Amino acid sequence: MRVASAIEEKLSAALAPERLVIVDDSARHAGHAGARPQGESHFTVEIVSARFEGLSRVARQRLVYEALAEEMASDIHALAIRALTPAESTA
């Protein structure tokens, strides 16, 4: 899983998450626009990081997109993001 590994590496480096879950949803999108036969084009990411404290949902997503800018431009067709603070993840 080359793309998933890149997502994990870049988000870990940029946001020091306490929890990071990456799900490859590509099989659910087979035949849709942007889907590739080998998969690794549609992902869901759940990330818990203290870096999100005090930020809006949109600002949190921007941080994720900035960290994955290279992959978004080439490999990732769709990315669903659930970005939480540590306090929100235990609530």
CATH, range 2-90: 3.30.300.90
pTM for the whole structure: 0.85
Say if CB 79 and CB 43 are below 8 A apart. Answer: yes
| The residue to which tokens 């999100």 are assigned | 52
What are the boundaries of each domain within the chain?
Answer: 2-90
pLDDT at 91: 67
Q: 46 with 19: CB under 8 angstroms?
A: yes
Looking at residue 77, its pLDDT comes to 86
**pLDDT block averages, 10 residues each, the chain of length 91:** 91 98 79 58 95 98 97 91 96 67
Strands 78-84 and 42-48: parallel
